[in-house]
Structure 1
Amino acid sequence: MIDPTNVLPYRVTDRNLALELVRVTEAAAIASDRWTGRGLKNDADGAAVQAMRAAFDTVAIDGVVTIGEGEMDEAPMLYIGEKVGSGGPAMDIAVDPLEGTNLCAKSLPNAITVVALAERGKFLHAPDIYMEKIVVGPDLPDDVVNLDSSIEENLRNLAKAKNRDVSDLVLCTLDRERHEELIARARQAGARVQLLSDGDVAAAIATCIDGGGVDLYAGSGGAPEGVLAAAAIRCMNGQMQGRLLFEDDAQRERAREMADGKDPTRLLGLHDMAAGHVLFSATGVTTGSLLRGVERISPTRAKTHSIVMRSKSGTVRYIESHHDFSLKTNRPS
């Protein structure tokens, strides 16, 4: 018989933490929503950062930011190495207070606020450089795609695993000049290509969601966003590989300093980027394929839509929250 005194406290704390994360991403989403469509991406991001940082003060963790807004001398808060939380289990924190600042500024789909937690030392320490990524969803053979394989081979293998034609597959990637060859070759192979202006975390997650409309995410984007995506993909039992890309020796040296003696150019699997037990939360700012955006019901009331996940249980929850600001003091959630 299981002794509940050995299990219950951890489980309750862990489950409560998952819900506390939703409050953090909700606060950032509500704050940045006030800047939606105003063309001021830095103001929107700044509002999200301040709200998220304040919300962390009430979360019962001993947290250290490992993926954040930049180095200490580049960001006033949520910088790499900053300690947050009100005390509790030692956790690493990965944040993107506003994933898709341009999307928010232009009122385009898929702007979200994102937080992930892992046990101390379990997140890849990724500098703010590019990462090459490839992502597919769950229930597929191991290594069905590989970052070192051609896009044609990956599409063929994925189509075979899904018992579909390549022409049925949708590849999603950022609409960037550096992806022109990838896009042309995928189309020549017969796949359809969905282009993003910004925001590849939501696109990576879409590969793992029924009705997400994406079979394969590929291409290069931010390394910090890669770690956040890896945390979500871990929770959803998908597959992901990554590799850091360097523009100069300074970036390579910075990555080497953060790599704990490992080769910074190595092929990264999911557990290299987000190991151990992982929690993930995101709240929609603008409505997109993953989440609905913040809905302003009245000057004092709003509705938010979030997703929260735990790798330990594989549970994915969608949470709709109704906020009455007239009853709140100091913070919006």
Structure 2
Amino acid sequence: MLERELSLELVRVTELAALAASPWMGRGDKNSADGAATEAMRSMFDTVSIRGTVVIGEGEMDEAPMLYIGEQVGSMLGPEVDVAVDPLEGTEIVARGLNNAMAVLAVAGKGQLLHAPDMYMEKLAVGPELAGKLSLKDPIRITLEKAALALDKPITDLTVMILDRERHADMTRELREAGVRIKFLSDGDVAGALAPSFPEAGIDLYVGSGGAPEGVLAAAALKCLGGEIQGRLMPESEEQFERCVSMGLTDPRKILAINDMVGTGDVIFAATGVTPGEFLGGVRYMPDQRAETHSMVMRAQTRTVRYVKSLHHLPNKPLLRK
């Protein structure tokens, strides 16, 4: 069982990652932004009372110097947990100075989180009003009809979010033919999947394909919010198919429900905005070497969502200067 005191400790991790990435906003250097966020997140994890294993991270050990899959994180005191991280969700967003970049992580009991391979996943994400009422098996037109009926409004009043990618050309055409409003997302797959669960975002459904690791992070958040995500892996080669099987997915193309991705136990999700977004503000620099961050942390067991606004005195953040 996850201790509730862990929630605030995890927010401190995403806060530091966001603060480290923020100076790279608009500088056109996504790798430096990601590297700064990753190093800061790794350093802050050392102060958290967990025995964590990274199951979703920056890549394999030979690809990533830190926060790689299989890496041990935490103080090695406390519960054994699975850890999923994206130190900078939206590296290109930060490089270009756009909206919706976040530092995100999720923690669940050992063995709970899906070891999602780094490949595309077809996704359907909805908020609490549509949870349990739609299916990824259906063609998109049927999905829209069911959503409109459940929400008691015309299809033309639906707003659907989708990543702006060439691979979505056919689906975009079908959405246009159905008459729905489309909100394109340049990057930020986790933020997109969460959007339908926040009324202020004005999004009814999130559709299309994105990264499988991001799908698991979104599933952790949606379990806390009462929303839903369904996913189906999209292996594009025999090698990718076999990789899924080697990770324990005997049927890589089956539809994954939220419990398939994050288990049936407790989950904690934390995120801090790097740039302003639909439901989190970005890092804001203040006079006297201070910076303001806006975060959220939530727990599946209680369905409590906390927003944390923090004011940081930057000279007192030694881990930022490492």
- Name the TM-score class by shorter chain: over 0.9
Change (3 A) 1:141 1:273: closer
Match of 2:297 in 1: 308
SS at match of 2:184: strand
SS at match of 1:33: helix
CA distance in 2, matches of 1:221, 1:141: 20
State the Cα deviation string for residues 172-228 of structure 1 (Å, max 9, x = none).
011111101111111111111111111111111111012112100000000000000
CA distance in 2, matches of 1:161, 1:105: 39
Among 7, 20, 34, the residue aligned to 1:45: 34
Match of 1:179 in 2: 168
Match of 2:78 in 1: 88
Match of 2:252 in 1: 264
Q: Is the 8 A contact 1:284 1:291 kept in 2?
A: yes
Query: What is the letter of the counterpart of residue 126 of structure 1?
Result: A
Change (3 A) 1:258 1:141: closer
Mean CA deviation greater in 37-46 or 179-188: 179-188
CA distance in 1, matches of 2:18, 2:139: 38
SS at match of 1:225: helix
Match of 2:105 in 1: 115
Match of 1:26 in 2: 15
CA distance in 2, matches of 1:209, 1:127: 28
Change (3 A) 1:141 1:135: closer
Q: Is the 8 A contact 2:120 2:233 kept in 1?
A: yes
Match of 2:64 in 1: 75
CA distance in 2, matches of 1:114, 1:237: 18
Q: Is the 8 A contact 2:244 2:250 kept in 1?
A: no
CA distance in 1, matches of 2:154, 2:98: 31
Q: Does 1:105 align with 2:95?
A: yes
Q: Structure 2: which 5+ runs fail to align?
A: none
Q: Does 1:317 align with 2:306?
A: yes
SS at match of 1:224: helix
CA distance in 2, matches of 1:30, 1:328: 10
Q: Is the 8 A contact 2:131 2:227 kept in 1?
A: no
Query: What is the letter of the counterpart of residue 22 of structure 1?
Result: V
Q: Is the 8 A contact 2:44 2:319 kept in 1?
A: no
Cα offset, 1:299, TM superposition: 5.7
CA distance in 1, matches of 2:58, 2:43: 15
CA distance in 1, matches of 2:287, 2:20: 15
Cα offset, 1:330, TM superposition: 3.7
CA distance in 1, matches of 2:223, 2:112: 12
Q: Does 1:281 align with 2:270?
A: yes
SS at match of 2:201: coil
Among 133, 137, 143, the residue aligned to 1:154: 143
CA distance in 2, matches of 1:327, 1:43: 22
State the Cα deviation string for residues 212-247 of structure 1 (Å, max 9, x = none).
121000000000000000000100011110011011
SS at match of 1:229: helix
Q: Is the 8 A contact 1:55 1:331 kept in 2?
A: no
Match of 2:230 in 1: 241
Query: What is the letter of the counterpart of residue 209 of structure 1?
Result: F
Query: What is the letter of the counterpart of residue 38 of structure 2?
Result: V
CA distance in 2, matches of 1:179, 1:106: 22
CA distance in 2, matches of 1:189, 1:265: 27
CA distance in 2, matches of 1:146, 1:323: 44
Report the aligned-residue RMSD: 1.3
CA distance in 1, matches of 2:3, 2:156: 43
CA distance in 2, matches of 1:211, 1:326: 35
CA distance in 2, matches of 1:289, 1:120: 32
SS at match of 2:92: helix
CA distance in 1, matches of 2:143, 2:13: 37
Query: What is the letter of the counterpart of residue 259 of structure 2?
Result: H
Match of 1:4 in 2: none
SS at match of 1:18: helix
Identity of aligned residues (%): 54
Q: Does 1:168 align with 2:151?
A: no
Mean CA deviation greater in 214-223 or 322-331: 322-331
Q: Is the 8 A contact 1:141 1:161 kept in 2?
A: no
Query: What is the letter of the counterpart of residue 232 of structure 1?
Result: A
